[in-house]
A = this chain, B = another copy of it.
Amino acid sequence: MNYNKVTEDMIANLQSIVGSRNVIVEQEKLETYAGDEVPEAEWKHLPEVVVKPDNAQQVSEVLKLANRELVPVTPRGAGTGLAAGAVPMIGGIVLSLENMNRILEIDNENLFMVVEPGVTTGDVQRKAQEEGYLYAGDPCSADSSFIGGNVATNAGGNKAVKYGTTSKHIYGLEVVLATGEIITLGGKCVKDVTGYDLVHLMVGSEGTLGVVTKIYLKLLPKPKYNSVLLVPFADMQTAINVVPKIMTTVGVIPTSIEFMDNLCIKSAESFLDRKLPYNDAGAYIIIEVEAYSDAQLESDCENIAGICYENGGLEVFIGNDKANQDKIWKPRRVLAEALRVTSPVYCMEDIVVPISNIPKLLEAIEQISKKYTIKIPCFGHAGDGNVHATLLKENLDDATWYEVKEKVLEEIYFVTYACEGKLSGEHGIGAKRKKAMAKFMNPVELRMIASIKKALDPNLILNPDKLVELC
């Protein structure tokens, strides 16, 4: 694809569409929009111009202009992504949704919240809480990420075991297509089979099929009671074996089932500067349970604790009040930061496998780690098989790191696919994993993705150089 550069004329045009103050061309300000939270320099690129529209109509005019002039457009939320999905890899326009940050409606009769894409997920959660509801989407970045970014990546998070990923909470979207048409897909109907499910095709398409300008979010009854359990196990296999037993024998789907391996336990311990219980354990499992009555919660916790003890749990710590719950969650919550202190340059992966294959995957990763003598602490979501294997650079020089990282990633992806897994559970492909997807995904599926992309964005202007190769 031969894209054109942004011209002076086009900048004047963009200024007349969104107003001068919403067009950024100054080099130092552009830098803010050059990357997301992937730390490595290869995943940063300056846009030629940043445009901050205020409404769908302006988004439409910007896209019509870009589509006519063949200039690439990279939609951007809060820039908290972990796959270089919002990075303008070949320049052009960054379309920042930061000004579209209004909560438009709380519908108490149909239990929906309608929002613009630039609202932070934390604000969505708090607004739902205030109104007596639960918004169940809960990525770990909730306080900083935009709900629009959550839609673009189909963000997961800690509550996905019980409530599913972002996708499950989305019933309607207003989308601006690459050609500038504004269309509402779905809406407040809870069931809808009128044509293809385009809403959920858009969710997780990482801004390659359209720009989301309005989102219909489902609200749920707010659970009144919750408990958090910490259970150390001697080894990962024993820990993971307990997961299906909780769901079937106890008959409870917990809100969260998280795990961290011993490297993570040690890293959190050092970061928090306090001794953690059973710090030689092969694995911690953290379980959160919610209920609508106190009696139900108590009985669920008792049954889960029982199952854990019967299946190799070394001890069960239960947090019933906020202070103790925070204390249990803390080592898991600080992990990203703790690992960053150990190694400011790192590569956090997002592989996902069927739950029962987690131990096999982690054993293989340990072998790879030994083979290349780099540390790869692993943590993530035991309830849904999503493993954040994190490669640490530590003292390696840049060239060695790059070389080793490429080899290690290739081997990790290989065993992931051998374990019936996939490259990404919740962070997405973006630019970062595009090459890997080309290598590991079935070519027929790659072709399906490319053909749908071409069908909906014929000039390929939306978020180019992401997900799949199109030429």
Contacts and interface: CB of A to CB of B under 8 A. Distances in A.
Nearest to A210: B448
A188 B420 contact: yes
A449 B452 CA distance: 10
A91 to B, nearest CB: 25
A437 B252 CA distance: 42
A195 B244 contact: no
A70 to B, nearest CB: 20
Interface stretch (A36-44, A107-115, A398-406): A107-115
B110 A384 contact: no
Interface stretch (A140-148, A153-161, A259-267): A153-161
Nearest to A152: B193
B244 A109 contact: yes
A184 B111 CA distance: 35
Q: Which of A133, A191, A248 has the most CB of B within 10 A?
A: A191
B427 A193 contact: yes
Copies in the complex: 2
Interface in A93-132: 107-111, 132
Interface stretch (A310-318, A336-344, A350-358): A350-358
A244 B108 contact: yes
Interface string A430-443: 00000001000110
A69 interface: no
Interface in A385-427: 385-386, 420-427
Contact of A248 (B133, B168, B253): B133
Contact of A201 (B197, B247, B442, B468): B197
What's the interface size class on A, roughly?
Answer: 35 or more
Interface stretch (A221-229, A280-288, A323-331, A370-378): A221-229
A386 B188 CA distance: 12
B194 A110 contact: no
A243 to B, nearest CB: 8
A183 interface: yes
A296 to B, nearest CB: 5
A319 interface: no
Q: Which of A160, A222, A437, A452 has the most CB of B within 10 A?
A: A452
30 contacts: A109-B244, A109-B354, A110-B354, A160-B191, A161-B190, A165-B193, A184-B442, A185-B445, A187-B354, A188-B354, A189-B353, A189-B422, A190-B355, A190-B385, A191-B381, A191-B425, A193-B204, A194-B429, A196-B201, A196-B205, A196-B209, A196-B452, A198-B449, A201-B201, A221-B250, A221-B251, A293-B296, A295-B295, A295-B299, A451-B455
| Nearest 3 A/B pairs, CB to CB | A109-B356, A188-B354, A190-B384
